[in-house]
Amino acid sequence: MAKTTPASSSRFPPQIPFIIGNEACERFSFYGMRNILMVFLMDYLLRNVNPDAAMREAMAKSHFHLFMSGVYFFPLFGGYLADRFLGKYRVIFWLSLLYCVGQFCLALFVENIYGFYTGLLLISLGSGGIKPCVSAMVGDQFTAENKHLVKKVFAIFYWSINLGSFFASLFIPLALKNLGPAVAFGIPGVLMLIATVIYWAGRHHYVMVPPTGRNPHSFFRVVFSALGNQSQRTPGGGWLSAARARHPEEAIEGVRAVFRINLLLMPTIPFFWMLFDQKASTWVVQAKAMDPHVGSFTFQPSQMQFINPALVMILIPVLAAVVYPAFQRMGWELTPLRRMPLGLVIGALSYVIAGYYQVLIEGHTVLNISWQILPYIVLTVAEILVSTTGLEFAYTQAPREMKSVVQSLWLLNSTLANVAVAIAAALNIFKGSAQFFFYAGLAALAGIGMALMARRYTVRDYYQEAAPPIPVGERAAPDLSPKGA
């Protein structure tokens, strides 16, 4: 049953370690599996399906990004079920069990394409379904009496995400090479099972906010009502004014805010995720063509992904404490509407650098794998400018009633990006260095377009009293306003 937290406590509620432990293990599980997936598809599973190396690479990349699109599509269902019908605890627990089954399917069916892809489907459903619920579950555990601890707990939550990713990126590629794919996928399966057990063990301590049931003034109800009653629209009130006969003005204004935000974000932000998610596919393929020896250590191509979470943990405090204040003192504040276009352009620069490397490789120059550190640094700076800024921006620009909708649409940007990359890879239009410059050009144009559109955007913040901050490092954070305060 639901518990309450002690008043004015200077200690974390007893349930917090269960949630943090669950998150650290789950993130290790996910990134451990994901970071070796591209290499496994190319070098193991699809070897007999398509003996041509170039075609196999394109097929593996397409399948990888289709899987990632599912990971960022299914949160729409998980969040909806949790908010409206089942509550967060049940959705997280039952989908975690499904997630475990999916992970163990990968380990059991390393030579069976149908069994392996069934596992990927279950993982996308499980991982995606719990994604919008876990961070919100953290916020639910706090009330007005201990809200001063929220920043600290989300900082720990964020570090657990990146620590899980960091260690998974370092060790699971080694397991794939030295112990084989069954063990390499089995370890993330065991970690996911541990994550589920940890979460279940805290069941008697959690504050469980009940689901709200159906919302008569939800986003889609307002939209459909407006479309079906255009004869009742108010002169000069726009097409949404037709919904006033059935819905309050606050709900209509919320829908307007959703459209206003996404007319800025959806034509531009997907181009960043096209870049970012290819560090686990296109950049891994490039690393395979590089000299893996750095001193006495031999890096696996998938291991280079450890650089991103390590840099995130270092660069976010540097940007927040040094870079942003420095620009402010110079009289040019890096507002969210400046950071995001800048991030898109910087992301494009990372692909120009990586593309130049690819040109050298195609000219038979042997590059050391350590050269990838530079584009990883540039891409991570872009991630902080785009992802963390955009997530907070989308959250603050939406009224309370529409924050979950906006966060869901933010996730849809990742889905659209991965579907686009999957289609481009399947068609195999751009090869080698051309694909790097192609995506760099798209991101640069998106950054310029966003900068121009941002000049006409009117910022309107909707803050909530004592709202917990949005965790950094994940693409989705639902409405984190403290419940029961």
Global pTM reads 0.89
Instruction: Match 């390590």 to its residue by tokens.
Output: 310
By percentage, how much of the chain surpasses pLDDT 70?
A: 92
pLDDT of residue 158: 77
By percentage, how much of the chain surpasses pLDDT 90?
A: 59
DSSP state of 229: T
Read off the pLDDT band of 474 (50, 70, 90): low
Read off the pLDDT band of 473 (50, 70, 90): very low
pLDDT tens per residue across span 129-154: 998 888 778 877 877 677 777 767 77
Helix, strand, coil in percent for the chain, rounding step 5: 75, 0, 25
CA 412 vs CA 69, 75, 409, 415: distances in Å: 9, 9, 5, 5
CB of 356 closer than 8 Å to CB of 310: no
Counting other chains too, the contacts that 110-113 makes at CB distance below 8 Å and 24 or more residues apart are 110/40, 110/44, 110/45, 110/180, 110/181, 110/182, 110/185, 111/45, 113/45, 113/46, 113/49
Read off the pLDDT band of 108 (50, 70, 90): very high
